[in-house]
Structure 1
Amino acid sequence: MGKSNLTGICMLGGMAVLGCTKPTSNNTYYNQVSIYDTVSIDSKGELLFLNWSLSTATVSSDLSTLYNFNVDEPSLEVVDLDKYILSHKVPLEREGPNGIGQRGKGGILALSDQLLFFKGWPAPYVMDLQGRRTGLLENLTLIKSSVTPAGRDFMYEIMYPDFPNLVFGITNEFPGKNFEFTVLDLIDNSIKSTTPLSAWDNFSDYSLVFDDGTQFDLWAPRVYVTLLGQYICLSTDVSSDLYLYDPRTETLIFKEFPHSLSPKHKTPTGSIQTSDPAQFQTTFRKLYGDVSFHPPFWDNDNQVYYRFSHTTTFERSEEGLYPKLTEQQVYLSVIEGDFTLSAEFSLDFLKDAPAFGFSKEGKIWTYLNVNDEMGFIRMKAPHNAP
């Protein structure tokens, strides 16, 4: 399908855009982020899986194709990003020889033009584009249990296409402490290296547990392990800090960023475990109303990284455990190739924090629900700002 301008989407259901005014920024040092246009995907009459705002989607390395994992069916929705149309759907099996089980709910990753990585516990699977298990990583659960020290879990696995014999992940102790970046060698089924992640030592100060004997809810910092250009990136929602691992040099570096539009991390509440709904909700408001960071992504055309963050406003009602979200303030950071922060923008035209975003042809694509159809807002950010 074709493109439409901003005025055509101002009052759409499932709003991700507020009003019809041009975007503004609270940062007087930089120009505005502009909306280039909006794109609507022709679903060819199919009901696409939009319930999770494309948080289970990935794009191919050449950025021509989007793969959206339909958790409910299950199936793989293959979208042509050049023609803005659903190409086809691939049925997937939940059980059986090619069954994915519960994998994919934590996201998928395009490893190559033929392979998709389905994240999940106790270990991910690698599938081909016909929905068949490839046999790769089939023994990973047993390998992990044999090499991981007692009391620790190997989690958040990812693979780097140029190093097919390595699995990268994080080991930690439940319920999320003593984190280490771990490299597993599949040739001899051994731990190749482990590196403590000391910047995450205070994660318990962001943990929240409700336990009244009948209901148990655990909230802890969210960890992201993603591919970012030549790096494997370790990031969290509680801080803008990044760990970056280069598998070619086998080096792990740590980067901090001097944000000015928003805090660089959440304010710690301390480790809270309670059976009091009011205390739980008060702490939840503090933790998740505060700034939350998304994993960064690479813009190859402009040679920069982008990263979203957001704060959240909740309704004032004190009923129940969880307050209702009313709106979110979204920010965009532009990070140079050497990982210096070059610009920050307040995206006042976005009502909801993007659950999925990527860069293609120098433009930032973020998911937009267009009358229950898949769509995208495409934005352009200025670069080389003073």
Structure 2
Amino acid sequence: MNKDILLILAIALAGCSSGESSKSETDNFQFSYTIDTVMVDAGEHLFFVKTNFGFSDVDAENKLLYNLNIIDHNVEVIDLEELNLKEVIQYQEEGPDGMGGGFVMKINQTPDGQTILYDITGIKRMDAEGHKLGEVKLDPKEWKGDELKAGESVNLSSLSTKDGKIFYGLFGTQGPIAETEGLVILNTADQTRKLIRTDFLDFLKDFMIEMEMNGRTMRMGEQTRLNLINDQLLISTSAKNAIWKYDIQTDSLTEKTYESTLTSNIKKGNFPRQTSSREDLNSARAEKSKEVTFGDVIYDKDRMIFWRFSKEMDRLAANDSIVYKTILTAFDEELNQLGEERISGNYITDLSPYLVDGQFWHFLNLEDEVAFIRLKPNFEND
């Protein structure tokens, strides 16, 4: 499918840390890209697309994508090389191998074939045959080490792991008035918890929208993402052109800020912060959506660089719908900005795609069939 048709489809569906700054070296680092779209052959199977693959993860080494069906309690395994359904792993809801009926917040796939489910009851490790390998409860009383204060808990959806044994994430107050208090490291082998209290994310409070109604308060904030790369934990937010790096070996946290020539470097905050009705809340969210949003930091181990998508309103169309511009930025292994490129047209996709075989894979629902938009950066030496 050519690029123009693909873009039409996408539109239709559509202070505790030290700091450094980095400017783009676009003149010395340039890349082009190609875009296509591919369909996945499901055979007689009906893929679970109600969550738009929001509960999925990828095994990039084996080119397999795992999509959790939270209704039927199974995982659909898609072969991204053959572009077909490889298998469906069926889980039990209850019993010794049961995944439970709790609300799943996230799914992780480990290199050794484990599927890790995060839900309100804790963390469950499942094997490729649907058997439960283990379960970890996050009740504060069951853990040794640093203690959580009253009202604090681990943010399950933020957790990241490589081996299914040590987990890294955020902690703080949860629920309608959530606030982040710092980083948490959970070692399930000895049931120990380490808390790193820091205020480096306090600036995000400036971009919260609050709704007070019937004596209750609800807050809607920014996304904070964590990526575990080698012995470093990278933290980024949707609000600011910056990346924080926590070095596990040295127990140090540093911040690198960047300057873009194509987008704003931080949200401007030109939207209402206080609302008292659903209508006002939706209006405030619409205004906020016009401002810059930064995506996940994605590591390309073959090229030894990092990538990140971002978007910002380019203009309003005649019907007042938002036309966005999408930017792809590259960073070297030291997180210095190398260059940035605007993706042509109104390229509207998820800002945290999977990187497999040198290509970014963005899920696309085409009338309940599974497709992927693929964007491949190209360099002169490729």
Check whether the contact 2:262–2:342 (CA below 8 A) recurs between aligned residues: yes
Aligned to 2:233: 232
Alignment of 1:1-386 (within 5 A): 5-6=2-3, 9=6, 12=9, 15=12, 33-97=32-96, 98-104=98-104, 106-138=105-137, 142-143=141-142, 147-156=147-156, 157-162=158-163, 165-174=165-174, 175-177=177-179, 179-196=181-198, 198-213=199-214, 217-228=218-229, 230-268=231-269, 272-276=273-277, 279-311=280-312, 326-354=322-350, 356-383=352-379
Deviation, structure 1 residue 239:
1.7
Cα distance, 1:51 vs structure 2: 3.1
Q: 1: distance between equivalents of 2:241 and 2:143? A: 30
- Quote how far apart the aligned CAs of 1:281 are: 4.1
Which stretch of structure 1 is more off in the superposition, 228-237 or 334-343? 228-237
Change (3 A) 1:351 1:384: closer
TM value normalised by structure 1: 0.80
Q: What amino acid is the match of 2:275?
A: T
Q: Which amino acid aligns with 1:304?
A: I
Aligned mates of 2:341, 2:119 — CA distance in 1: 34
Indicate if the aligned counterparts of 1:33 and 1:379 stay in contact, CA closer than 8 A. no
Q: What TM-score results when the alignment is normalised by the length of structure 2? A: 0.81
User: 1:290 Cα deviation (Å)?
Assistant: 0.8
Stretch moving more, 35-44 or 143-152:
143-152
Give the 3-state SS of the residue equivalent to 2:43 in structure 1: coil
User: In 1, Cα distance between the equivalents of 2:377 and 2:73?
Assistant: 36
Question: CA contact under 8 A between 1:78 and 1:88: conserved in structure 2?
Answer: yes
3-state DSSP class of the match of 1:147? coil
CA RMSD of aligned residues (A): 3.5
Q: Secondary structure at the match of 2:122?
A: coil
For these two proteins, the number of residue pairs brought into alignment is 364
Shift of 1:79: 0.7
Check conservation: 2:182, 2:195, Cα contact below 8 A.
no
Give SS of 1:135's match.
strand
Q: Which runs of 5+ in 2 are unaligned?
A: 15-24
| Whole-Å separation in 1 of the counterparts to 2:54 and 2:324 | 17
**Shift in Å at residue 333 of structure 1?**
1.2
- The answer to whether the 8 Å contact 2:299/2:306 transfers is yes
SS of equivalent residue, structure 1 residue 283: helix
Q: Which moved more, 1:302-311 or 1:146-155?
A: 146-155
Equivalent AA in structure 1 for residue 170 of structure 2: I
Shift of 1:70: 1.9
Asked if structure 2 preserves the Cα contact closer than 8 Å seen for 1:182 and 1:194, the reply is: yes
Please state whether the residue corresponding to 1:262 is helix, strand or coil: coil
1:257 Cα deviation (Å)?
Answer: 1.7
Distance 2:10 2:309 in 1: 23
Q: Is the 8 A contact 1:108 1:116 kept in 2?
A: yes
1-structure distance, mates of 2:142, 2:346: 44
SS at match of 1:205: helix
* Residues 35 and 374 in structure 2, CA contact (< 8 A), matched pair in contact too: yes
Aligned match of 1:22:
none
Q: 1:149 to 1:225 in 2, by over 3 A?
A: same
Secondary structure of 2:119's partner? coil
| Percent of pairs with identical residues | 19
User: Residues 13 and 282 of structure 1: is their aligned pair in 2 closer, same or farther, counting only changes over 3 Å?
Assistant: closer
Residues 1:371 and 1:248: Cα distance change in structure 2 (over 3 Å): same
* CA offsets 1:320-344 (integer angstroms, 9 cap, x no match): xxxx965543221111111011111
Distance 1:275 1:212, change over 3 A: same
Which residue of structure 2 aligns with residue 321 of structure 1? none
Structure 1 residue 114: Cα displacement = 2.2
SS of the residue 1:264 aligns to:
coil
Query: Quick one: distance in 1 between partners of 2:327 and 2:61?
Result: 27
Structure 1 residue ranges without an equivalent (≥5): 18-26, 318-323
Q: 1:190 and 1:270 mapped to 2: Cα distance?
A: 42
Q: Do the aligned residues in 1 keep the contact of 2:326 with 2:343 (CA within 8 Å)? A: yes
Higher strand share: 2
